[in-house]
Amino acid sequence: MFYETHVITLDPGSARFAQFRAANAHLSFQLFRAVPGAGLSREERLVQNLVTRECLDTGAVTDGEIGAAASHLALWREAKHRNVPMLILEDDAITHPKIAEVVAGLDTSGMDLLFFAVNTDTLLGTVSPEGVREFSSFVDRYPPPQRIVEILAGADLRKLTLRRMLNGFGMCCYLVTPQGAEKLIRDVLPLRIETIAIPGLSGVNVGGTSIDRRLNALYGDLRAFIMRPFLAWTPNTDSTTRAQNMRR
């Protein structure tokens, strides 16, 4: 399968991005300069349909979440316009050395989204290949880079499975197809304060104030999958999905 790899970063000259390059030396990619959310005026945020007026008035959405939404949206539009699948990474992802080979061998005709990682500081809900609903929590909630390298080294690529997504958080490494990009462009934005019930977490709801939170309202209508074992991990140092941030 032909696809492109794009990496989102605010500052390609930063130590953070240098660390990304070192950890992912096996990847060939195109650089996408992230949209600085702080640089978008109130009117620009509304005109671009990034956030509802009500949500903006509450102050619930950070500049970082606005910038992330605008950045991912720009790449979704490019994937749809050019009709090309895209592997999209944020610059805190650490990937398996053979992830490019795995992606190249995929049949994505029945997919909208395929995640290779999620934030591991909250619950992941999936449907197993046998049709069983499963909810996973993780001991490695905030794994340091060396621990991530160890985990990836232990991944058995002969046992990769795809599972339908029920819920999950994080956008550090995922594949979007052109048809999936069209759905995301149409349905994910604007960010909003309306809460979303999370399967497997009784009584827990989250506001749709970031694109990964918004996706939890849409998984039932998306052909969204996650690959297990994960072929990418994030240390979660920038995560906004920690349990204490969930709204009950």
CA distance 74 to 84: 14
Question: What is the value of pTM for the model shown?
Answer: 0.94
Q: 102-114 burial string, b = 16+ CB within 10 Å, else e?
A: ebeebebeebbbb
The model's pLDDT over 160-205, given as tens digits with 9 standing for 90+, comes to 999 999 999 999 999 999 999 999 999 999 999 998 888 777 777 8
Q: Render pLDDT for 56-83 as a digit per residue (tens, 0 to 9).
A: 999 999 999 999 999 999 999 999 999 9
- How confident is the model over 84-104, as a mean pLDDT? 98
Using a pLDDT cut of 90, give the percent of the chain over it.
Answer: 90
Domain made up of 4-235: CATH architecture: Alpha-Beta Complex (3.90)
- Identify the helix (H) or strand (E) that includes residue 44: helix 42-47
Bridge partners of 142, per DSSP, are none
Distance from the first to the final alpha carbon of the chain: 43
Domain ranges of the chain: 4-235
User: From CA 217, how far away is CA 193, in angstroms rounded?
Assistant: 12
> Model confidence over 32-44: pLDDT tens digits?
999 999 999 999 9
